[in-house]
């Protein structure tokens, strides 16, 4: 809810903000100290200036907890300051809710702070639900992804914002807790993983776990807490043995037990808490004081000190993950019977592994000579944006969820480009992941050098080459073979565009008729009452056939259309609406 009007055109005067302000200077002081400590070139002045504006704009507003609202943007900014983010990101974080929840407008913000800050704030500002209705959530995410394609800091602010909201979720009603936690699991936590922000991801995982499965969360937390001391004691000899092995191989570094977060343990163990072992709760983490090559020497030391499990070595240093993650993973047998997972990283790799994009940007801020560990693979984001402009809200959100699924597989082009896909994906899905031009003209594929049809499944690690023919076009068979939302949408769109207008309209009308029948309505009645025509005009279609053809082409969201028809029918048949 927007507060009452307040003049903000001269918000930067200290005299104007001292009287009657909330006494939280210590909190902004903490933010500024974290900024000075964590960023190579801090600019505390502009950050303090943004706080002055945000505090005045939000003055008088309170959160569900009863705290002054300014506590929220301060907490969000503190998360980002501790990640070592730049002053522009911190300014935008302090101001991120002003345009959405106060009378402070985007043009005013742009005039006060410039285009860079305005773009970041606008990227995380929600769309007005009263105008967008049921499409508001999807369109807000579409807007955020578009902004993130230009500046990934938009996503960092959104993740920090959601993390603090999850921390304070207990003040929301249960149904809202469930909705926010579920949305976070489906969309925002996968974004955190894509950006390598594992520190944020783990906390968000556990907070959502506590809301969506509180009993299981409580049980596994109690079990892990009860076993922690004994588990550490049991694994202490393994730590000591690895430390001795490093010393023997003249590798500078340390070995420690790395506690896994609750959600990760739950995914491995489930309800079988009686089978819980110390190795389920901890990983052995080897932090090397040196360069990449020293990690391989450390690996030799680890395998010399303990028996390696064959086939369980993963080298993410020579082939980093798409989100900057670099490390060596191996599995060993300690004391002749305990199987342990060991992770080997340099200390710099560890910073990047924990904070991903934030650590990467921190390194970049040190100057052009900084040794930066690769780059985040954004091809999946570019492919999504290549076709999303014409996608309906529901199609866009479905495709985004599919692209962000955490249980995906990795396939490769013959040129070595990694193409992430969901499990069960086929050759036609791979083709459309490369782009509509490739997918539309695909006729077959070579998977690991073997000729296969378009419905052939792509396995993890496969090398795929798509065979194309400029005269080929999508077919119903291709639609049956496709499993990803992106491929199915693009094939349906092509098929609809090549249907006769009458065929497309008839098909769309049948689909709409079936959908409204599920709501207890008859489409013919809605057409006779003028309900359908009114909704068609609202959506920019002069004729009903144009509306139905747009449904067939996937340009009109069916769920949104049905909701509009139901609402318009209720309005037109309720006598109270005419009084």
Domain that includes residue 420, residue range: 407-497
Whether residue 332 sits in one domain with residue 272:
yes
pLDDT of the residue at 210: 95
pLDDT of the residue at 396: 66
pLDDT of the residue at 40: 81
Q: How far apart are CA 441 and CA 436, in angstroms?
A: 8
Domain of 446, CATH number, reads: 3.10.20.30
Question: Is there a domain that residue 311 lies in?
Answer: yes
Contact indicator for 15, 110 with CB cutoff of 8 Å? no
Q: How far apart are CA 412 and CA 427, in angstroms?
A: 12
DSSP three-state, residue 85:
coil
Q: What is the DSSP letter of 170?
A: G
Whether residue 44 sits in one domain with residue 122:
yes
Whether residue 225 sits in one domain with residue 356:
yes
Whether residue 266 sits in one domain with residue 132:
no
Q: How far apart are CA 126 and CA 115, in angstroms?
A: 19
pLDDT of the residue at 16: 33
Give the number of other CB atoms < 10 A from CB of residue 242. Answer: 27
Question: Is there a domain that residue 58 lies in?
Answer: yes
pLDDT of the residue at 190: 85
For 158, what's the count of Cα atoms within 13 Å in the CB-facing half-sphere?
26
Active site residues: 100-101
pLDDT of the residue at 374: 40
Question: Is there a domain that residue 470 lies in?
Answer: yes
Domain of 181, CATH number, reads: 1.10.3210.10
Backbone torsions φ then ψ of 282, nearest 5 degrees: -125, 155
Q: How far apart are CA 190 and CA 174, in angstroms?
A: 23
Backbone torsions φ then ψ of 314, nearest 5 degrees: -125, 125
**Contacts of 481 by beta carbon, 8 Å cutoff, 6+ apart:** 426, 427, 428, 453, 454, 455
Q: 127-156 burial, b for 16+ CB within 10 Å, e for fewer?
A: beeeebeebbbbbbbbbbbebbbebbbbbb
Question: What torsion, rounded to 10 degrees, do the Cα atoms 431, 437, 443, 445 define?
Answer: -30
Q: Which two tokens stand for residue 492?
A: 């349906």
Whether residue 314 sits in one domain with residue 221:
yes
Question: DSSP for 247-304?
Answer: HHTT--EEEEEEEPPHHHHHHHHTT-GGG--HHHHEEEEEEESS-HHHHHHHHHHHHH
Whether residue 356 sits in one domain with residue 298:
yes
For 157, what's the count of Cα atoms within 13 Å in the CB-facing half-sphere?
30
Q: How far apart are CA 339 and CA 129, in angstroms?
A: 52
pLDDT of the residue at 243: 92
- The domain total for the chain is 4
Question: Is there a domain that residue 444 lies in?
Answer: yes
Domain boundary among 497, 529, 561: 497
Which one, of 312, 316, 261, 268, lies nearest residue 302 by Cα?
A: 312
Whether residue 452 sits in one domain with residue 360:
no
Question: Is there a domain that residue 254 lies in?
Answer: yes
Q: Which two tokens stand for residue 17?
A: 């903000």
Q: Which two tokens stand for residue 23?
A: 């006494």
Whether residue 98 sits in one domain with residue 61:
yes
Tens of pLDDT along 364-373? 766 544 433 3
Domain boundary among 304, 332, 364: 364
Give the number of other CB atoms < 10 A from CB of residue 24. Answer: 16
Which one, of 551, 399, 390, lies nearest residue 488 by Cα?
A: 399
Contact indicator for 533, 527 with CB cutoff of 8 Å? yes
pLDDT of the residue at 330: 94
Q: How far apart are CA 279 and CA 267, in angstroms?
A: 14
Domain boundary among 497, 513, 545: 497
pLDDT of the residue at 225: 92
How is the chain split among helix, strand and coil, in percent rounded to 5? 60, 10, 30
pLDDT of the residue at 366: 64
Question: Is there a domain that residue 378 lies in?
Answer: no
Q: How far apart are CA 548 and CA 14, in angstroms?
A: 59
Contact indicator for 437, 430 with CB cutoff of 8 Å? no
| pLDDT beneath 50, residues of the chain | 1-26, 368-375, 575, 577-579
Q: How far apart are CA 299 and CA 253, in angstroms?
A: 12
Whether residue 173 sits in one domain with residue 299:
no
Domain of 354, CATH number, reads: 3.30.460.10
Give the number of other CB atoms < 10 A from CB of residue 378. Answer: 16
Whether residue 509 sits in one domain with residue 489:
no
Name the one residue in this structure whose structure tokens are 């079936």. Answer: 514
Taking CB atoms within 8 Å and a gap of at least 24, the contacts of 75-80 are 75/164, 75/167, 76/157, 76/160, 76/161, 76/163, 76/164, 77/31, 77/47, 77/160, 78/27, 78/30, 78/31, 78/34, 79/160, 79/163, 79/164, 79/200, 80/156, 80/157, 80/160, 80/358
Whether residue 557 sits in one domain with residue 466:
no
pLDDT of the residue at 133: 60
Whether residue 540 sits in one domain with residue 492:
no
Question: Is there a domain that residue 34 lies in?
Answer: yes
Question: Is there a domain that residue 395 lies in?
Answer: no
């Amino acid at each position: 809810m927007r507060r009452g009007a307040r003049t903000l055109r001269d918000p930067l005067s200290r005299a104007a903000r001292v009287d009657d302000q909330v006494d939280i200077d210590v909190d902004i002081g903490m933010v500024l100290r974290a900024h000075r400590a964590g960023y190579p070139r801090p600019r505390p002045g502009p950050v303090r200036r943004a706080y002055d504006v945000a505090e005045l704009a939000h003055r008088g507003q309170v959160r569900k907890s009863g705290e002054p609202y300014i506590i929220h943007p301060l907490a969000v900014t503190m998360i980002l300051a501790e990640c070592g983010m730049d002053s522009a990101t911190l300014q935008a974080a302090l101001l991120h809710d002003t345009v959405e929840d106060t009378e402070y407008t985007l043009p005013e913000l742009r005039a006060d702070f410039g285009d860079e800050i305005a773009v970041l704030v606008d990227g995380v500002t929600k769309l007005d639900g009263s105008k967008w209705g049921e499409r508001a959530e999807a369109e807000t995410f579409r807007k955020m992804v578009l902004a993130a394609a230009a500046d990934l800091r938009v996503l960092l602010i959104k993740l920090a914002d959601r993390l603090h909201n999850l921390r304070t979720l207990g003040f929301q009603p249960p149904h809202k807790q469930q909705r926010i936690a579920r949305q976070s699991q489906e969309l925002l936590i996968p974004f955190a993983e894509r950006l390598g922000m594992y520190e944020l991801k783990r906390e968000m995982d556990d907070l959502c776990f506590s809301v969506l499965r509180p009993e299981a969360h409580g049980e596994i937390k109690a079990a892990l807490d009860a076993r922690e001391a004994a588990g550490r004691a049991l694994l202490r000899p393994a730590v000591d043995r690895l430390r001795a092995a490093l010393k023997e191989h003249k590798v500078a570094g340390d070995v420690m037990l790395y506690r896994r977060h609750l959600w990760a343990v739950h995914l491995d163990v489930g309800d079988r808490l009686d089978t819980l072992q110390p190795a389920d709760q901890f990983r052995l983490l080897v932090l090397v004081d040196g360069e990449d090559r020293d990690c391989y020497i450390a690996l030799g030391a680890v395998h010399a000190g303990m028996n390696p499990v064959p086939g369980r070595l993963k080298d993410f240093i020579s082939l980093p993950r798409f989100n900057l993650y670099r490390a060596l993973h191996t599995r060993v047998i300690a004391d002749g019977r305990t199987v342990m997972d060991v992770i080997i990283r340099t200390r710099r790799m560890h910073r990047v592994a924990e904070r991903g994009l934030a650590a990467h940007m921190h390194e970049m801020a040190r100057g052009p000579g900084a040794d930066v560990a690769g780059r985040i693979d954004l091809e999946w984001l570019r492919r999504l944006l290549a076709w999303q402009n014409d996608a309906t809200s529901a199609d866009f959100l479905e495709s985004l969820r599919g692209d962000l699924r955490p249980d995906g597989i990795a396939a490769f082009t013959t040129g070595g480009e990694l193409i992430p896909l969901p499990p069960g994906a086929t050759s036609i899905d791979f083709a459309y992941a490369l782009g509509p031009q490739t997918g539309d003209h695909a006729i077959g594929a070579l998977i690991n050098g073997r000729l296969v049809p378009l419905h052939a499944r792509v396995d993890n690690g496969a090398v795929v080459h798509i065979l194309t023919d400029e005269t080929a076009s999508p077919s119903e068979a291709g639609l049956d073979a496709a499993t990803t939302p992106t491929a199915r949408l693009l094939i349906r769109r092509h098929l609809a565009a090549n249907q006769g207008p009458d065929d497309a309209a008839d098909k769309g009308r049948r689909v709409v008729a079936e959908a409204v029948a599920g709501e207890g309505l008859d489409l013919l009645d809605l057409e006779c009452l003028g309900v359908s025509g009114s909704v068609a005009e609202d959506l920019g279609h002069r004729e009903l056939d144009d509306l139905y053809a747009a449904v067939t082409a996937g340009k009109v969201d069916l769920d949104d259309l049905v909701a509009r028809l139901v609402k318009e029918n209720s309005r037109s048949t309720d006598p109270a609406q005419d009084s």
